[in-house]
Amino acid sequence: MSNFFDNIPEIKFEGKDSKNPFAFKYYDPKRVIMGKTMEEHLPFAMAWWHNLGANGVDMFGRGTADKSFGQTEGTMEHAKAKVDAGIEFMKKLGIKYYCWHDVDLVPEADDINETNRRLDEISDYILEKTKGTDIKCLWGTANMFGNPRFMNGAGSTNSVDVYCFAAAQVKKALDITVKLGGRGYVFWGGREGYETLLNTDVKLEQENIANLMKMAVKYGRSIGFTGDFYIEPKPKEPMKHQYDFDAATAIGFLRQYGLDKDFKMNIEANHATLAQHTFQHELCISRINGMLGSVDANQGDPLLGWDTDEFPCNVYDSTMAMYEILKAGGLTGGLNFDSKNRRPSNTYEDMFHAFILGMDTFALGLIKAAELIEDGRIDNFIKEKYSSYETELGQKIRKGETTLEELSNKALELKKPENPISGRQEYLEGVINNVLFRG
């Protein structure tokens, strides 16, 4: 094993009174909550691109963190050092999953044949290095937004040649996902949208994206991929308008093109808030449609209008997120930290602090969400609020077995209905605070 992080101990659970910066205060992997261990509830994953790639560069300044891992960036030696560092990092934290784009694993070559050869080589290396460990791939994806060829889109491009390159990348990324035992395959449509309708055929673009997805399903199933495909909705950035705006839009798209049996949602917290929704809203919409698959666990900054990809620290949000995830019966995917250290947090220690923060935030969220469900006041209130539908007429409405005439007659008979019962929002918000802070 490599020793990039020699001065950092293995991260263990020490409990809420510990002041050790390199210990979990809440994440206790073997603790059982609602019949499952914390590690079963919380399949945490490391995002290759942020953790092993991002060095703090922004549009105003160069990188602040050294992610060379002792090698020259852009070489296969560097790609392999990233594998070594990644595995050492995950082992120290007890993280079992990782997520990647093709070009996070290897530097892209000028000729796609050479890029594919490199992907074969690195995936052999990953398999060799993870052998005998319980570290596995959560999901893979093709980066179809970074290379200039995708400037007009990937599935939505105007160029048949570029469309072929998108297809080739998806095909190879699926091969590697299957080879690494991935649970899922993600489509995030970074360039699938438009800046202006003056130059865009929306119908053609959306149909071509759907066809690319259909071909991916057909090919994936033919090579033995049994996991879920995911759409990761995001409303904007880099495009002004992205087609997968939010969960409701993406679900509608999947149903329109008959893709809803093979696809689920990969919900990212920061994308939810960019779409002017809460994280919980996006999870809830996915859950009630049977399409909650996986999560990109991060958070945005309410004062900034872009994808800041911060490590999650907001326990209110993680509680409401875990509440939805518990109600969905868990995730088929996992909780991928699509999150990066802030630019001045530029040391190896900071990489660990970030993951300890994120993992403890979701562990606390899980503990508190389970308490909320056991407490029952929220669920009971919601049940009570809709109790009029338990009457005979209410049941007929629920089942769609009544008519406008029948309901109209009832209204005429009543002359004037009683006011519906109070929504009790302030009381319920107090219940949440009580569960969060009672100790």
Q: Does 130 bind ligand XLS (CB under 6 A)?
A: no
Strand spans (E) along 129-273: 136-141, 184-187, 193-194, 228-231, 241-242, 263-268
What dihedral angle (degrees, nearest 10) is formed by the CA atoms of 29, 33, 34, 40? -10
Of 102, 104, 244, 317, the catalytic one is 104
Cβ 50 vs Cβ 63: under 8 Å: no
Closer CB to ligand XLS, 116 or 143, in the complex: 143
Least distance between ligand XLS and beta carbon 379 (Å): 32
- x-or-dash string of contact with ligand XLS, 216-255, rule CB under 6 A: ----------------x-x---------------------
Distance, in Å, from the CA atom of 205 to the CA atom of 84, rounded to the nearest integer, reads: 40
Cβ 214 vs Cβ 253: under 8 Å: no
Which phi and psi (to 5°) does residue 186 adopt?
A: -105, 140
When binding is defined by CB under 6 A, the residue of 307, 310, 324, 360 that contacts ligand XLS is 307
Cβ 181 vs Cβ 224: under 8 Å: no
Strand spans (E) along 70-210: 97-101, 136-141, 184-187, 193-194
Q: Which of residues 274-303 bind ligand XLS (CB under 6 A)?
A: 296
* Amino acid symbol at 73: E
Residue 248 CB contacts under 8 Å (≥ 6 apart), including other chains: 285
Per partner kind, with CB cut-offs from 5 to 8 A, the member of ligand XLS, Ni ion, none near residue 141 is: ligand XLS
Least distance between Ni ion and beta carbon 201 (Å): 27
**Which residue number has the CB closest to ligand XLS?**
188
Distance, in Å, from the CA atom of 191 to the CA atom of 240, rounded to the nearest integer, reads: 10
Whether residue 312 is preceded by a cis peptide bond, meaning omega within 30 degrees of 0, is no
Of 38, 37, 8, 2, the residue nearest 22 (C-alpha)? 8
For the question of residue 271 being annotated catalytic, the response is no
Of 279, 283, 274, 352, the residue nearest 316 (C-alpha)? 279
Least distance between ligand XLS and beta carbon 232 (Å): 5
- x-or-dash string of contact with ligand XLS, 46-85, rule CB under 6 A: ----------------------------------------
Least distance between ligand XLS and beta carbon 241 (Å): 15
Cβ 246 vs Cβ 279: under 8 Å: no
When binding is defined by CB under 6 A, the residue of 141, 169, 177, 208 that contacts ligand XLS is 141
For the question of residue 101 being annotated catalytic, the response is yes
From 60-68, 91-99, 196-204, 338-346, give the range in contact with Ni ion by CB under 5 A: 338-346
When binding is defined by CB under 6 A, the residue of 44, 97, 188, 355 that contacts ligand XLS is 188
User: How far, in Å, are 161, 338, 386 from residue 22 at the CA level?
Assistant: 50, 21, 47
From 95-103, 300-308, 349-357, 370-378, give the range in contact with Ni ion by CB under 5 A: 300-308
Closer CB to Ni ion, 296 or 317, in the complex: 296
Closer CB to Ni ion, 275 or 372, in the complex: 275
Closer CB to ligand XLS, 82 or 91, in the complex: 82
Q: Which two tokens stand for residue 293?
A: 């698959």
Cβ 366 vs Cβ 372: under 8 Å: no
Which phi and psi (to 5°) does residue 228 adopt?
A: -95, 145
Least distance between ligand XLS and beta carbon 268 (Å): 5
When binding is defined by CB under 5 A, the residue of 338, 359, 360, 363 that contacts Ni ion is 338
Q: Which two tokens stand for residue 224?
A: 């033995």
Least distance between Ni ion and beta carbon 104 (Å): 12
Least distance between Ni ion and beta carbon 186 (Å): 8
When binding is defined by CB under 6 A, the residue of 205, 246, 324, 338 that contacts ligand XLS is 338
Binding site for Ni ion (CB under 5 A): 268, 296, 307, 338
Active site residues: 101, 104
Contact positions toward ligand XLS, by CB under 6 A? 101, 141, 186, 188, 232, 234, 268, 296, 307, 338
